[in-house]
Structure 1
């Protein structure tokens, strides 16, 4: 969203009025969207798969008997297309435990086709049900399947399975190939003693019974001992359905797992194991240090921090950081660092305080808090900064939030109750998002809602790009837009292998992708090649969406520095991106060594830049709402909405084969509303609270002088934090959305850019749309545009809970019309507030 040059803080955001809620009827679900075809072939394929399950259970019985485990069980994954059947009741009757459900959207195939040839979207719902069965319950399920196949009536209480079987696409065992999640083992642990014990995370299927959870942990611990390993810690978090173990295994066994030799490790064969992973942290290292003019000519920060970074320990005595950073380190991670190793935290804090140092921006007016969660890892080459080897990510997040917001057991007050924004520029490269939400993302969602905090998460980095069928020499030989388009085409071919990295799929978090830009001066690249040849573009490093249930992710993008690859040498299909050089390009940040700076690239620094702007918006929200009640969740939602409302796009990439929304979501952050508004626009902030099956109206008063054919624009953004239900495949319990604006224009037409359907698809907690209009408006003061915000409950319901939300709506007109939009709208809003009844 672009304004003209007279933006001024003397014209701040205007707080609008929200109507009282009114009841609405929930829309009917309608019939199914698919027609079943090739039924006999599908049923026969499924019959063969059911037969295979009986043999698999026999193998699990042998494994369980070897450790004297009782009642051996299997985890099955049932995938159904276009079905809305609640299996809970039937599963209970069969003695089957549903332990996880997930939902996505997929293309029709040769077994399902769309009922309507004019459907707005070709995608259909795909539901995954993970169920736990023993011998008796598997026998019952097979008996019912075969009765259905023979066309017999199913017994009373089992009839919902009739429709479920009809829509069944796949049934399979959750096996070692599903459980194993490893990073590049050779690059990460090269040169280590094969017998050395290396840390791994084991996530167990969360069982409803506490006794069953105890039994499962005992069984997996026994298997680990037989594999030569041991459990070092565990965590159970019922709020998100998480049961995790931290363990160690001999390096030689994990290397065999990395080669897919599943028979080498009995633990990975256990039906109780959901995931076994060796994790890391993919952050492209900063470049070499360089001497820069680091003279600091800025006022010292005031007041308390509202932004906290969960990151590495920063060099807090660096001249550009001194007096601006507070460190909260209850785990004493500082003691594990040398000064030279404080690279990631220093870079992120520098960006959060100063932005890109190459752009000469002023420092943040508030200090920044750092709660360290990384430490140099002895098990890795070059002691890479990672989560502590003994830590489980969900449990670490829970403890870190409690440190900030809860009184400690010894009576110590909460450390940082004013914090509203948390920056998480860290991710787990072993867990790219693929239908099932990671436990880390589920924890972030629960914590952000529980404490009313906006969590800003980096989308994740990929340090290489496969150009096949092209190669590095061919790409380097191209120039200008031809090279940029070739890079985008490679990203399009590889997008399924460059998915969001956990916890970036969090639905309440604001996920940030990276653009290929920075403020560094153009310099001789030498042996390095810019894959976009100096042009503004999507970053070739950035992970890409979609999110859960095909929601729009990332939410937005911000500068992540220009990434380069090495030229010369062997021609290859795969290019590897180099760390930023000492002189750039890249985002210029402080280096650990006092008096020196460096450059960095990637989504980590993109997220830090967005967090910096979020902290400024925090103070604007508090200023414009002074004297009005505002909850923590409304404040967090308001910051979220204002960030997304300030996005724009790439005007020169509209012909790209790469779907840009997969990399930049709603757009690129280009507008800072803390700077105020221009005269030819008005930006209104609405704060509301809404219950299920109700709607509220947001009103935008209109100025005089719009009855001319000239460019006008309406933008609207809605944001909220949703409670979640990890047991339900819909997951998000509060589904909010807004409809097309209504007012004096007969028809606003379709939204520009992202469609209304795409903007609210899946499990989104932010919706952003824009309408460009050329028509004359027969309106003047006293007329208005209204936007209706609707709320529906899902994923088991809200149980009467009200949802806090924030919305931002703006009207912009071409400056050639000569209308002082801001003053006219402001005066009308002030009049509305003055005459508003008190009860």
Structure 2
């Protein structure tokens, strides 16, 4: 049923404080070794270390050997699983710094191995050896040092952080490719991330040492940054190609062997979009009002004088990137157009305010739009947020980042860019909407001998062949930084648009003619600790595919890169031969900008219906409410059945496993923006905001419409909870705060006539992020006497690590839906205490 703007979202009645429900059980037992086994495996390392430590020149001797455990050198203790309270035990050793922990890929012996990173001074090394020797002799360790005993029992390897840790195989390959054939002295710009040291003096010494090494290699430092809030310290440097080749070859005498460095990565490179097929502008919608903006776009310099953008942007360009934007302003113009208007092929959906626009890229005379290559992108984003908050963007709660770093696909470890986004989101109450990124690499079709056989198959079989090819390369299509952010919403691209013209040819063609699916180029989840990513899929244009005419004998399928009036999102375009008009674009950048437009429409609808509630609402609560409502209407639309038929045709895989695989592609599902804006006669969506103190618990009573008890028709209850978490950089428990929606009790499910559905991510995967989306569905008569309610309980779990004192704001959305039951909305509304203001729209 179509949404009805005269049926606004409903404000949930006030909650009551309730007793917490018990949390889930602990993890499985980690593997431990005997003392004798460990003494044989690791004793030689510690005995060799002791023999050197007893010398007067111990520090010099240890540092002269790059393979030894040495003062000020990052040490790796790889263990079979988590060691409880190890971080606090580290703090008891004078001169020992905890530098991080990370999960390692599991193997046949250990499901979740980890490693700990420590930076010791000489005295700390001596004490670690003393603890080992005492444990090896079977003696008790001093009070408070018991976690060291567990570490020794679980130790798989102890070693220094080395060149192979600093440069990933992918970056080694990248560095070798860009320096292939280059003169030895040709400069290559790289980002050098230092081991973060909390003390300013240690940080200064480390930076000076690395700067000196850069100069000695023949290079020079361009920029530097240190951000205590999210444990980031890096320098941007030009280094000769000869040194880059040594780095790529893991030469210990190059920067790859420098103890102060944690990682060496390529300079951030933004993604670009294609935009083609010009049309005229058409009529421009009414201009927005003068209220302060609530949405922002950080992107490439737009063409703000375009008729569709004039008077609709508040451009803030403190570094004057506009003066450098002498090329075609495609990306920023398209994203601004989508954020302001949505898809121009769709019905007009004007927003109430101008959009704050902060340029972070520009269009050079030739080539794609680029970042300012003299600055670290982390600094640019932090500066943009700080300036926005102190400027005309002080009320902004949504920031569009249709950007990604194509040199930094997600590798299981949170990216530095994502850490910055996570900190800024929590500190300033901002919902960042981030594109998942696009992948343009080819797919190999193995099900058919040639193109003719492929095209002769039915649409289901063709779609299955495409998906099998995509599934075969899923590991190579991971999210691009900063899409791994835990506080942001990551947006994927739905194979959907509003184009009405039919393409007259046979190639390119739609890969999924009869199925709701992501675009074949949309990058895939999951996120940190297997969290649901991307969370939502918004329309990003129906991207067609085509066969490579040259590749033989294999059938090589490529996503068609050029949008057109037959497929894509219509947006404002820079002038072509002096004529300003519109053109088309597609992909995750477009989908993300459409999500930003949708967030603004949700805000406008809430502000119109509840001005007395929205005006005083804290910015963070506004942001997390929009976060919840953007995802709330998402669903898999039965696509999981198609995906499962490919990945589990015999239906033998455990239900949690195949749901995780579906989630990798779909997240929480597809979002139709109109479903997020208002209700319908047969669907009532309710919302609430508030805060949860440490281990706090609230219950909202959801009124059950009498209609549900009178029919056995299909019905659904869904609930979405969103929040921002403080972060703990370097810790496995990076997400410091976890909230939870408890399962409906059996009597509540009976009252509403619903049950848990498998058409959603697993609870464990959903609860790994900062948005939880639960669905209960069935088709049976409920046991609902007049005035019945279903309690939805939310609670804050025990904080990870050091308890967080402040209360955490949350946004909650709950929907009751029964297709065709036209009394649902009115019956729910009758039991809501704060009624929405309704604006009746007059046709014409």
Which residue matches 2:840? none
Q: SS in structure 2 opposite 1:358? A: coil
Gaps (5+ residues) in structure 2? 648-660, 837-844
Maintained 8 Å contact 1:19/1:698: yes
Structure 1 residue 206 and structure 2 residue 183: aligned?
no
Which residue matches 1:777? 782
Maintained 8 Å contact 2:448/2:454: no
Change (3 A) 1:44 1:710: farther
Structure 1 residue 391 and structure 2 residue 382: aligned?
no
Q: Distance in 1 between matches of 2:342 and 2:182?
A: 39
Match of residue 546, structure 1, among 510, 526, 530: 526
Q: Distance in 2 between matches of 1:373 and 1:800?
A: 35
Which residue matches 1:694? 696
Match of residue 110, structure 1, among 100, 108, 121: 108
Q: SS in structure 2 opposite 1:302? A: coil
Q: SS in structure 1 opposite 2:805? A: coil
Q: SS in structure 2 opposite 1:811? A: strand
Match of residue 269, structure 1, among 249, 257, 264: 257
Q: Distance in 1 between matches of 2:116 and 2:63?
A: 24
| Count of matched residue pairs | 798
Which residue matches 1:811? 816
Which residue matches 1:373? 360
Which residue matches 2:618? 631
Maintained 8 Å contact 2:183/2:241: yes
Task: Report Cα offsets for 1:628-675 as digits up to 9, x if no partner.
Answer: 342111111111111111112242452424622112211111243464
Match of residue 763, structure 2, among 742, 757, 767: 757
Maintained 8 Å contact 2:270/2:371: no
Match of residue 607, structure 1, among 592, 598, 611: 592
The aligned runs of 1:22-41 (5 Å cut-off) are 22=18, 24=20, 27=23, 30=26, 32-34=28-30
Q: Distance in 1 between matches of 2:178 and 2:496?
A: 29
Which residue matches 1:426? 403
Q: Distance in 1 between matches of 2:43 and 2:673?
A: 57
Which residue matches 1:661? 663
Change (3 A) 1:514 1:568: same
Q: SS in structure 2 opposite 1:654? A: helix
Change (3 A) 1:529 1:757: same
Tell me the CA shift for residue 400 of structure 1.
0.4
Structure 1 residue 718 and structure 2 residue 716: aligned?
no
The aligned runs of 1:585-604 (5 Å cut-off) are 585-593=567-575, 594-604=579-589
**More off after superposition, 737-746 vs 637-646:** 737-746
Maintained 8 Å contact 1:702/1:785: yes
Maintained 8 Å contact 2:59/2:70: no
Structure 1 residue 787 and structure 2 residue 792: aligned?
yes
Q: SS in structure 1 opposite 2:627? A: helix
Q: SS in structure 2 opposite 1:274? A: strand
Which residue matches 1:796? 801
Structure 1 residue 826 and structure 2 residue 829: aligned?
yes
Tell me the CA shift for residue 129 of structure 1.
1.8
Match of residue 281, structure 1, among 240, 252, 269: 269
Which residue matches 2:842? none
Q: SS in structure 2 opposite 1:310? A: strand
Structure 1 residue 435 and structure 2 residue 412: aligned?
yes
Q: SS in structure 1 opposite 2:755? A: coil
Maintained 8 Å contact 2:222/2:374: yes
The aligned runs of 1:108-507 (5 Å cut-off) are 109-112=107-110, 124-133=111-120, 137-138=124-125, 140-141=127-128, 144-145=131-132, 148=135, 153-180=140-167, 182=171, 184=174, 195-254=185-244, 257=247, 260-263=248-251, 266-287=254-275, 289-303=276-290, 304-338=292-326, 340-376=327-363, 382-406=366-390, 414-465=391-442, 467=444, 477=454, 479=457, 480-507=459-486
Maintained 8 Å contact 1:227/1:265: no
Tell me the CA shift for residue 469 of structure 1.
6.8
Match of residue 741, structure 1, among 741, 744, 747: 744
Q: SS in structure 2 opposite 1:705? A: helix
**More off after superposition, 348-357 vs 621-630:** 621-630
Match of residue 618, structure 1, among 588, 591, 603: 603
Task: Report Cα offsets for 1:121-168 as digits up to 9, x if no partner.
Answer: xxx544332222356544654564566567554455432222223334
Q: Distance in 1 between matches of 2:514 and 2:618?
A: 45
Q: Distance in 2 between matches of 1:831 and 1:355?
A: 31
Change (3 A) 1:559 1:194: farther
What is the RMSD computed on CA atoms of the aligned residues?
Answer: 3.6
Q: SS in structure 1 opposite 2:282? A: coil
Gaps (5+ residues) in structure 1? 113-123, 407-413, 834-839
Change (3 A) 1:493 1:45: farther
Change (3 A) 1:635 1:533: same
The TM-score, its normalising length taken from structure 2, stands at 0.86
Maintained 8 Å contact 1:514/1:606: yes
Change (3 A) 1:655 1:402: same
Change (3 A) 1:210 1:284: closer
Which residue matches 1:568? 549
Q: Distance in 1 between matches of 2:439 and 2:74?
A: 32
